[in-house]
Amino acid sequence: MNSRLPKREEVPVEMTWRLEDIFPDEGIWEQELHEAGEIAAQIREFEGRLGESAHNLCAAMKLYDECTLKLDRIGEYAFMRRDQDAGNARYQEMELRSQSAQVRISEELAFLEPEILAIADDVIGRFYEEEPELAAFEVTLTEIRRLKEHTLSKEMEQLLASAGEMAQTPYNSFGMLSDADLKFPPVTDGEGNEIQLSGGRFVPLQMSADRALRKESFDKFYTRYSEFKNTWAALYDGQVKQQIFYARARKYPSAFEAAVDANNVDPAVCDRLIDSIHAKLSYMHRYVSLRKKMLGVDELHMYDVYVPMVADYDRKFSYEEAKELSLKALAPLGEAYLSIVRKAYAERWIDVYENEGKRSGAYSSGCYGVHPYMLLNYSDTLDDVFTLVHEMGHSMHTWYSDHAQTHLNARYKIFVAEVASTTNEILLLEYMLSKARDPREKAYLLNHYLESFKGTVYRQTMFEEFERRTNAMAEEGTPLTADALCGLYLELNKQYFGKDMVSDPLIAYEWCRIPHFYYNFYVYQYATSFSAAVAIARRILKEGESAVKPYLAFLKSGCTQDPVSLLRIAGVDLSTSQPVDEALEVFSDVIAQMEALQEQMAGAAVRNSGETS
């Protein structure tokens, strides 16, 4: 790990994404920004006339499709430019201007939904018969009409739309503070080398075999966050209050119910998830006990959570090796699938390495009519290999939906968004396990499987509980102070990790750094998606083409059905607790495999010691 982060211009161009595929130059971005406003003005000409004829409704929807497509492209481009270098003032300006345009146009078009809702059911049915081209917008129109109870008058919709830019303030401020302004002190490794601590480097440092380095980076990282605890609390409080504001304005009993209904998901899905996890917290505690035993420590601390449990086995993977591994692991999905993955690598869909000012973490971002993009902060770890195939899964889902559906129909709901990514991860894991010959290598991979369950199922459910409880506190009038938030987070951490984990006081500040808390109840979907993906990947590996075909049909379906129905295409029914319960049993089985390997390796070590003496 280099001591200094490179500046953006120092990163090899072939390791950066080619955003010129969206707009060859910023002049075209400016032009499309202007054109989106012009199209919005054309749509406004239909105000008060949508219900007059099928022709009017269809013409307005065509313009709406064109306008939103331009806004999507404008927004994605500015968003990604800002994320590659948050300190660049020009990119900050572009992102803010794109957000302003989104809000302004949303305000101008606020009449659409109330007027669409005012059209009687029998009239809408007649419109579909009179204007065949209107069928292209049936999914969108049906979704609008589904939310009739929560749609307001034209004037009220305009008011809510005008508040949209203001509502982005907590998220924007969080991003600027965490990605651009927050600086960390350096840390020193066991050889005396100074390493610049950063958001992108924190987890790789926590994976180091050097326990003193892990502790130092943990202490300095969260101490730095704690110095701004009141600012983080104010930002999160602002986020929660804007969620509550919109939920109440739209006549929902809670912000949580508003969020899940926006995805057309029954709140019971999340309730069942939490119930299933609580019923099997003993599995998580058993995992923690195993981790403590395998690391050979008297006390297991939160800075021991990321380091592999298999000592003296820390394999590195270059980016080129990661790409080759991904192609081999994803082979069960077919050559057509692999050909698109190769295009992603060859045509610079991916921004690979960390640079100064770059957003931490990783994501895939869709751009209809071009191709998806992926942001990584690759640092040669096994986790980075899995992150690559994870984000590739998102991108492939987007690619298939975009090529099979119209722009509006391709927009799959967040609830299903993590399924393809996690299916890819499990296929990679199963491939690497099948090739592992050395017990230590197999244990290293099982360690990753366990980490995936810990991080994606249990941890994300813990995050969901934090969100639900903090939103409920705010809805009841309890102030979301830094102390209250830290106290709740520490309480949940102790509950989920159990008595064999020392919940270090500084872990109480972990909530401060989680960007997903600004995504409005996003996180529980990681856990449900992981559970679905376990079932899908195992079915693909067992049944082959007969399972791949319906899975690809699911990827191509966009938002043409509600999310739970879409997952049934791939053979998973999340209207029951079965997928989550079965996934947790897989977790238990992997723990048992690791326990057996640990005993095997310990026995071998004793025998080798005897032979040596």
Burial class of residue 378, CB neighbours in 10 A (0-12, 13-18, 19+): buried
Question: Rounded CA gap, 549 and 528, in Å?
Answer: 22
Question: Rounded CA gap, 196 and 217, in Å?
Answer: 10
- The token duo for 466 is 């934090």
For 323-327, the CB contacts below 8 A with 24+ separation are 323/388, 325/385, 325/428, 325/431, 325/432, 326/385, 326/388, 326/389, 326/392, 326/424, 326/428
Coil, strand or helix at 373: strand
Question: Rounded CA gap, 251 and 156, in Å?
Answer: 13
- Closest listed residue to residue 394, CA positions, set 424, 368, 415, 370: 424
Question: Rounded CA gap, 37 and 103, in Å?
Answer: 11
- Closest listed residue to residue 395, CA positions, set 365, 424, 360, 369: 365
DSSP secondary structure letter of residue 187: E
Distance of CA 167 to the CA centre of its chain: 21
Quickly list H helices, 227-311: 229-249, 255-262, 267-279, 281-295
- The token duo for 438 is 């050395």
Question: Rounded CA gap, 126 and 130, in Å?
Answer: 6
Coil, strand or helix at 308: coil
* Pairing state between β 300-301 and 501-502: parallel
**Total residues found in the chain within this entry:** 613
Catalytic entry in 157, 391, 451, 467: 391
Quickly list H helices, 131-210: 138-146, 154-162, 164-167, 169-175, 199-206
β-partners of residue 375 are 351, 363
Question: Rounded CA gap, 402 and 379, in Å?
Answer: 31
> Is 149 assigned a catalytic role?
no
The answer for residues whose C-beta is within 8 angstroms of residue 588's C-beta and 6 or more apart is 280, 283, 286
DSSP 7-62: PGGGS-GGGS--GGGT-SSHHHHHHHHHHHHHHHHHHHTTTTTGGG-HHHHHHHHH
Question: Rounded CA gap, 534 and 218, in Å?
Answer: 32
The answer for residues whose C-beta is within 8 angstroms of residue 244's C-beta and 6 or more apart is 255, 471, 474, 475
Q: Write out the catalytic residue numbers.
A: 391
